[in-house]
A and B are shown apart, each in its own frame.
Chain A
Amino acid sequence: MHYVELEKDLLHQNDKLAANIKDNMDDHGIYVLNIMSAPGSGKTSILEAVLPELTKKYRIGVIEGDMQGTADADRLAKFPVKIHQINTHSICHLEAAMLERALVNFDLHKLDCVIIENVGNMVCPADFFLGEDDVMMVVSVTEGHDKPHKYPVMFSKADVIILNKTDLMGATNFNRDIFYEQVRALNRETDILEVSATQGTNIGKIVHFIEHGISHKKGHEHEHGDGHGHGHTHHHHGHRHHD
Chain B
Amino acid sequence: MLGYPPDRLFTGCIMHELSLAMSVKDIVEEAAKSNGSTKVNEVNIVVGSFSSVVPDALEFALEVAKKGTIFENARINIRTEKAVVNCSECGKDTEIEEFNFKCSSCGSGAVRVITGDRMYVESIDIES
Contacts and interface: CB of A to CB of B under 8 A. Distances in A.
Contact of B35 (A4, A10, A121, A239): A4
A2 B121 contact: no
A54 B120 CA distance: 41
B56 interface: no
Interface SS majority for chain A: mixed
Contact of B27 (A1, A2, A8, A187): A8
A123 B52 CA distance: 6
Interface SS majority for chain B: mixed
A185 B109 CA distance: 8
Bin chain B's interface residue count: 35 or more
Contact of A10 (B24, B102, B117, B125): B24
Nearest to B12: A123
Nearest to A182: B100
B118 interface: yes
Interface stretch (A57-65, A86-94, A210-218, A219-227): A86-94
A186 interface: yes
Contacts of A77: none
Interface in A1-53: 1-14
Interface string A115-143: 00000010110110000000000000000
Contact of B119 (A9, A123, A124): A9
A186 B101 contact: yes
B117 A92 contact: no
A90 B15 contact: yes
B20 interface: yes
A237 B112 contact: yes
Closest 7 CB pairs of A and B: A92-B13, A239-B117, A152-B99, A2-B128, A124-B16, A237-B113, A10-B119
Interface of A: 1-14, 90-93, 95, 121, 123-124, 126-127, 149, 152-153, 156, 184-188, 237-239, 242
